[in-house]
Structure 1
Amino acid sequence: MRLSSVFILFCAFAFAAVFSIGAAWVAAGAVEESSERAVRTELDRDALTWADVDTDGLLVFLIGTAPTEAARFQALSAAGRVVDSARVIDQIDIIDRDGIAPPRFSVELLRNDSGVSMIGLLPASVDRDQLVEDITRAVPDAPLSDLLEVADYPVPDGLDDALEYAVSVLRVLDRSKISIEAGRVTIKGAVENEDTRRRVEADLARRAGDDLRLALDITAPRPVISPFTLRFIKDAEGVRFDACAAPTEDDRSQILKAAADAGLEGKLDCRLGLGTPTKEWGLASALGIRAIDALGGGSITFADADVTLFALEGADQSLFDRVVGALEADLPDVFVVNATLPTPPEAAPEGIPEFTATRSPEGDVQLRGRINSEIARTTADSFARAAFGSSTVRTTARVDETLPANWSSRVLAGLEALSRLSNGAVMVTPDALSISGNTGNQNASSEIAGLLADKLGESEHFEIEITYQEKLDPLLGIPTPEECEAQIVEIIGDRKITFEPGSATLDLATQDIMDEIAELLQICGDIPLVIAGHTDSQGREVMNQQLSQDRSQAVVDALRQRRVLTASYEVRGYGEEQPIATNDTEEGREANRRIEFKLRRPEPVEETETTLESIADSAPTDETSQTDGAEDTSDGQN
């Protein structure tokens, strides 16, 4: 009986032990399952899909391959938020990036009437919010679509500069596609006309700097050319175009090939435009050029459908007849040919009449020589004053009523041609009209050839010798120093360049103004600019002067940091010397604390102009001479 009780008691203990073990096992499994579920949920919440979880009792194992060290730490932190960090075992590997090439980072900015779109791949460390803010500030009225992707790689050299430059281009081109890579920007865009295209291309190229590779493809509608003109010359001075226009690329290629075959060397170009009288312009022009080459020289001018050909003096008559006959037969029916074979003069007459007009680089215009009537002289003088300015014209031409009847119209045509040059001269003789000079318009020769052909008719012989000078070109977008000064004032407007109180450190709010001023000054180039600082009257005068000097220097330093050439700039600190308002009120003191941008102008020099007219006008009579002398003596005594 006693043995039986012991057995029963043993069985009870054994059952209790087994039950306890089973309960503990079930409980441990529940803890493992709940811990694993909680950690997985937290990892999914942080989008850490690369991480996996395993458990062993109370221990939680994090396994997987993290893309970065920061991602590994993020996974550990996520697990530590739901279980005790002491239970988390780190078994995470990190991708070895040493052998992986970074992706090709590139961005495209697209601007049209719908707004601006950003598409591409950027390094994650690029300040994306700042980029969006810069674009919004550059084109504030255009909606922005941000479709950029990012990758966690270092920023390649040159990408930040390329992005900054590209954003500035958005302000210039309303329709554009800007492709950005590290150190390279490709720009495709459209503008309203050819002049704007040239100005925009020059401006963009100038602002790009030496470290940025730039590819430009700016297009513009073709201009309407009237009259549609081509003028080809081959003489002792060489082979050249005075004017060349073509309606298509194929026509231009046909014309330039014919010119090259005739001996034209160097850079060949022909202006594309609208207004041709026939689709066969290229063929007709090539035929005319070949005719001049076959004659051994001369000139041919196409002005719309009128063709004027001049052979060289002394050319063989039979050759002239044969070449001109073939040209008339081969040209399309729309063209009318007027051909002339000049005969050598038997003896050059003395005193050949001529009219000359000259325009100096300073703008002074002189009309000299002969003109056929008093009315014609008055008309020429009035026309010149209207074209060049009344104060710059001086007419000394004399009347010669024996001149041809068309002399006056040729003079006026020459003056109109001269008005299209920066400086130069025009000469009218009985047999010819010649114009020479300098211009900043690349198309001046073509335009003047068209003008003379239109004004003078088919039979008139004229010569053009015009030189294009880039420094005279107003279309390059280089404003004058005076325009730069005015534009700086306009940029600042109601704003101010401000500093931190009592210091020469530029306020952060001033950065936008400085960026805009720097962008303008990069275009203005090397101008004699004075940057002057002013303060109010509070504090000691010496300290105020030094503070204004330091603030002016800070502005120059800020411009230099923005790649502005400041070698010609002068820094001046005036302190409280030049107030523009009272210092008795806070508003007045605020107005007196300022930075001014002004051109450094030379001191005025009193000039004395001596001419025959001024000498004659100022020659005193005996009576006035004595009176003036007495007044001078009296003034000297005072």
Structure 2
Amino acid sequence: MRLSSLLIIAMTFFAAAVVSLVAANFSVKLIEESSEIGVRDALDGEGMTWAEVEADGLQVTLAGVAPTEAVRYKALTTAGSIVDAARVIDLMEVEAQAAIAPPRFSAEVLRNDSGISIIGLIPASTDRESTIKKFANMAGEANVADLLEQADYPAPEGWEDALAYATSAIAQLPRAKASIAAGRVSITAIADSVEARAEMERVLKRRVPPSVELVIDIAAPRPVITPFTLRFELDEDGAHFDACSADTDAARARIVAAATRAGVTDTPRCTVGMGVPSPTWSTAVEQAISAVERLGGGSVTFADADINLIALPGSSQATFDRVVGELENSLPPVFALRSQLPKVQDPNEGPPEFTVTLSPEGQVQLRGRVNDAALRELADSYAKARFGSDRVYTATRVAENLPADWAPRVLTGLEALAALSNGSVTVTPNALSVTGNTGNPDASTEIASLLAGKLGEGADYDISVNYQEKLDPVLGLPSPSECEAQIGEILKTGKINFEPGSATIDSSALSIMDEIADILKRCGDLPLEIQGYTDSQGRETMNLALSQSRAESVLNELRARRVLTGTYTAKGYGEENPIADNGTEAGREANRRIEFRLLRPDTVAVPDETTLESAAQSGDTENQTSEEGTSDEQN
């Protein structure tokens, strides 16, 4: 009985404990839910929907990414107003803020006769001392004004390339300004002449790196034009200038506008120069062009103050008199007008005639009269077959009442002309004449036999053919020594240039290679050595390799021009055999060269005074430095 009572009591306590535990869990869940819901509602009410709320017992955890630190603190404060702030766990992050934008780096370099000044803001990573030292080498340390500021921000892309290019460019321009920005250089300069400006622009453009945008504005004095010339023509082919000069940009604009009104469709080239005979030049030109337009065609030529106006043949005499009279009375003082109205020639005047001419360049023109369209086509086809289809121009016309033997006489004349190097043939009803030059000493005999056989006995013909040894395909070939002399004449006025630090021939020298190739094609097999040389700057081994590559490059250019080079060799001599002082820039430039040398049986492999030479300069005209890298590039 007693044991039973104890069991009942124990079970009662156990049941009470279970009930208490269940009640406690329920209370905790209730508190978690109410806390989480309350905090979430409060945050949503403040517009902080980014915040994530999670309750764990009495603790409330806030997570998510706050847009700013102030917003994160506001979220903590809002949650603390709902539950005890000590129960809030902060796991929130703050969104990364963009870094402060770096300043715009730029600099301006001004160089004149007084020295060099540089002003601007550059990155701290730029080697300022090295840059200033380069300018000091150009103008002297005392003549460099350093007004640069530096900022500790990363250098933008293209900045260092732009600065390096502008520095090297200023070294070549004694009077210039360079504006430098990341990836961009603007250069304003003054040249001594139009030719000097063109050379400056060529050098600057050739050396600009791919990462740099270059803007060039180089001023040059206007050329002196003597005489001040202009020629305007309006014919069946349209309106155009053969020559155009103006004294100012405004005058050029007025002249071009007048030409446009008269029918010029493209943008004509009109040179602005000095030497105009009168400030009213453009007024006189406008009036003269307008007169040509009103005449319906013709030409007007200005040579200083002299004007020559020629109307088209067949123009109305009344219109010609009126237009010329108006022009004479309106022209500014100083200008003198001479006018012509050519008469129309009757095509049937005089005896019928057929002429064909062959120019020294191989161009053939057929003019005059033929019996019918069939003969015109036959003569044209025959000429194209003998002289080349792209070299024949036919301007014959069909006429009546020509002799019965006109066709064979025309074709015989064409055949006779083919025996000449240049000349002409004229066919008339009663005679045939052949004149010209030839390299065949037997040409006169052969032509006479041809005419006698084709035209028959008693035919009247005249042959005036001159034999010229230089046209002889055998005797006209130059000797090896003459080939040397001819190439030497070319190289007196031209140079074979290479791109800086490379064996690639510069485009400016390709025309020289064309001329040399034309001579060598006529010279046949020559024991020729193409020799490459450098100056003494840089390592000897690198100079030797560069000179060899350049000599081979010249040889390859000749092969590309279909020159037979089986007897040619290419050899680099590096810095050997200097022809000038390597201690000066002019001397080093002279030593960087290509030589063409004829190898004679009694010669040895060293250049002599008769060597053909071309100063093969690298194009790098920067001031020399003592560093090997720079010297190797200049070689």
TM-score by length of 2: 0.45
Which structure has the larger Rg?
A: 2
TM-score by length of 1: 0.45
